[in-house]
Chains A and B, each alone.
Chain A
Amino acid sequence: MKYPETEKNGFMVISLTGEVDLNYSPVARQQILKCLKQNKNLLVDLSLVEYIDSSGVASLVEGFQLARQQKQFFALVGVSRAAMQVLHLARLDKVFPIFDTIDAALASQ
């Protein structure tokens, strides 16, 4: 199992899908970290996420922390309603840079 990865204007885009729970968050984590360790700027597309639990959010937090430390760009894009509810409840929507679309995220740079 691997989440789709694409590249746009020098930014990597990892698209998480479905239920990002205890079973799948290690996959998301590994892909996010691998990408950041290759010194790439990263956008995580959450538009197709139907459910995300705290382990899934932890993968995003770890990516966010590593990017901050390495001074790389890390943002969430197209956050689905289900994912936004979780992020909002924990006030993490105030922590992560969040953009509606990939283009909007790219334009911010």
Chain B
Amino acid sequence: MSYVNLDDRIHASNIPAIPDIARNFLQLYVNHTFDQASFLKLQQLYPDFFGRLLAVINSDHFNLTTKVDSVEEAIRLAGFERVCQLMLCLVVHRTLSAIRIRGVDQMLFWEDSLRRAVSARMIGELIGLDASLCFTAGLLQDVGFLLLFLLSPNKGMLWAEFRKREPDARYSMERNIFNMNHDQAMELFCQQWQLQEIIARPVLAHHRCDKLESSELDTQLCRVLHCADWMAAVYVAVDKNFVINRCRQILSEEFEMERFRTEELLAAIPDEIDLTSIVLGIPIKEHIKFSQVLFEANIKLSEDNLNFQELTLRLEQALDERDRLAAELNKELGLAREIQRSLLPPDMGEHFPLTGINISARDLSGDFYDYFTLPDGRIYFNLGDVSGKGVNAALLMAKTSSLFRGLGKRIDHPGELLAQINIELCETSIHGMFVTLIAGIYDPKTGLLKLVNAGNPPALLFTPQGLAREIEAAAPPLGVIEDTVFPEIVLNLGDNSLYMFSDGVTEGYTESGETLGLSGLFKTIATLPEQLTSHQRIERIVKRIQHNAESPLRDDVTILLLEK
């Protein structure tokens, strides 16, 4: 079963056969037959055509000194090659323009072709290349473009769109729409008309001259055609500024043409094609003047400029808006920071068993600590760290801290308290955020301490002699899994000191650039002078990772110290 839509097929058979008149003439040319009788015979067979051909040869276009009456005479004076080229231009135009292709305006197509032809001829004249050859190749170089529509008759509606594009864009658009390029279509044509030996090589390669492996003449001609393609596009492409600039660039690169010379050539095109169209009998329709091209280009330029100004204005407005929002956000952040600080407990002085510090690495902290005294004199305390940073972490921190205070007044056992908070956090879990928490209840009267460590770095219990014991986490953090059990350890604090801290302390950088680590913290605490107050000791620890007021912290730092 075939899925090919008949209308989408390339109809190679749509390419018209070479007319007899051209085939016979080309045969004579290729075989170098130059006898009067053969030409006379041809002239008698096609009197109208040769009448036209002789009229062109006798016109200013050919610039002959003597008027000629016969083909044989024309060949003698103008050269076989030039006459053959002219014949080809006339036959190809006559044959193809007789075919109606829906959607394609053939008159405009040939007008565009004439622009290429006169452009090629003008460049050829400047660089000393055969002007007639350049003209012929220029006229025929994009015949393949017309053939594409002849081969795919249902695509004719796109012709006007194609015409507006500059050469490179059109070339890639051809590949997308037709699955072939105009040079490939032209190749089919050259095969059918047996033009391979005449102008095929440079014409077929004018979009990729650097790939052409041929004579110096072919390569030069190819480059001329490439430039001519862009020069003609100045008159029809939409983005005129771009095409004019590209023309200047290409002509400068290919032939070291100065900028003013390029513009002179471009400006000369309209008059040249007016004359040529009359001589060759190829009618034209649009007669676009260069002043019109420049006018449109300038309008486009001022439009672009206006767009640019508008863009600048919008950008300024956007920046103002951003500043306004940033100011608002900073105000909100300031408020949030204030609220967050208010969640930390007040400093109770040296006689209270707990001393804490919280320094945030950013505006808002994900760490917290808290303590409060129950009616019977026991003290509940906690130190926690929320995963992640920023507003999310701060909000979860506030929630956990509030739950701890609220539920702590009713639940005596820290393990049970954490289990309750955990259930609450799991129920409203978002983005997998969790809270590591170390919490306990301390009775100053008896020294009894119940402690739970849920995913927090170990607490360090120091004896007055500087010996330490690590109290590691016995349960995962809060907010991970609902049915978690939080085991308590019970001990007598006695004269010992319990240091609790967030991972920002052990992960902080020391002055030498290394992380402090647990062993570093251990050493720091063990070597603290005995006479220091709890506040001073905490400050000394912080100094290990915050060397001066300006040095940035890697993470929030929180320390809570419990001692009798």
Contact = CB atoms under 8 A, between A and B. Distances in A.
Contact of B432 (A22, A60, A90): A60
Contacts of A92: 455, 476-477, 480
Contacts of B387: 54-55, 57-58, 61
Contact of A29 (B386, B432, B456, B477): B432
Interface string B430-445: 0111101000000000
Contacts of B257: none
Contacts of A64: 432, 480
Contact of A61 (B432, B454, B457, B474): B432
Interface majority SS on B: helix, strand, loop or mixed? Answer: loop
Nearest to A55: B388
A54 B385 contact: yes
A15 interface: no
A74 to B, nearest CB: 12
B248 to A, nearest CB: 43
Interface in B464-509: 472-477, 479-481, 503
Contacts, number: 68
A39 to B, nearest CB: 19
A63 interface: yes
A89 interface: yes
Contact of B480 (A29, A55, A59, A95): A95
**Which residue among B387, B432, B481 has the maximum number of chain A CB atoms within 10 Å of its CB?**
B432
A91 B476 CA distance: 5
B473 A90 contact: yes
Contacts of A91: 454-455, 473-477
B378 interface: no
Range for the number of chain A residues in contact with chain B: 20 to 34
Contacts of A57: 387, 434
A34 B454 CA distance: 30
A67 to B, nearest CB: 11
Interface centre among A57, A64, A68, A90 (most CB of B within 10 A): A90
Interface residues of B, number: 26
B389 interface: yes
Contacts of A70: none
B106 interface: no
A77 B455 CA distance: 21
B340 interface: no
Interface string A29-55: 100000000000000000000000011
A65 interface: yes
A62 interface: yes
Interface string A61-92: 11111001000000000000000000001111
Interface string A87-103: 00111101100000000
A62 B432 contact: yes
B463 interface: no
A63 B388 contact: no
B388 A61 contact: no
A65 B479 CA distance: 10
A68 B432 CA distance: 13
A85 to B, nearest CB: 10
B546 to A, nearest CB: 19
B455 A90 contact: yes
B480 A61 contact: yes
B339 to A, nearest CB: 22
A22 B476 contact: no
A90 B481 CA distance: 13
A99 to B, nearest CB: 19
A89 B477 CA distance: 10
Contacts of B454: 91
B429 interface: yes
Interface in A13-33: 22, 29
B304 to A, nearest CB: 36
Interface string B411-455: 000000000000000000101111010000000000000000011
Contacts of A63: 432
Contacts of A55: 387-389
Interface string B382-399: 000111110000000000
B422 to A, nearest CB: 12
Nearest to A32: B432
A65 B434 CA distance: 12
B388 A54 contact: yes
Contact of A59 (B389, B432, B476, B481): B432
Contacts of B475: 91
B431 A58 contact: yes
Contacts of A65: 429, 432, 480-481
Contact of A89 (B386, B432, B457, B474): B457
Contacts of A22: 388-389
B431 A29 contact: yes
A59 B454 CA distance: 19
A21 to B, nearest CB: 10
Nearest to A63: B432
A2 to B, nearest CB: 20
Contact of A94 (B385, B436, B476): B476
Contacts of A62: 429, 431-432
B335 to A, nearest CB: 24
Nearest to B477: A90
Interface of A: 22, 29, 54-55, 57-65, 68, 89-92, 94-95
9 contacts: A54-B503, A57-B387, A58-B387, A61-B433, A61-B480, A63-B432, A65-B429, A89-B457, A91-B455
**The 6 A-B residue pairs with the shortest CB-CB distance in the complex, in nearest-first order:** A62-B432, A54-B387, A90-B455, A61-B432, A58-B387, A58-B432
Given A90-B455, A95-B480, 7 more contacts: A54-B387, A54-B434, A54-B436, A61-B433, A61-B480, A65-B481, A68-B481
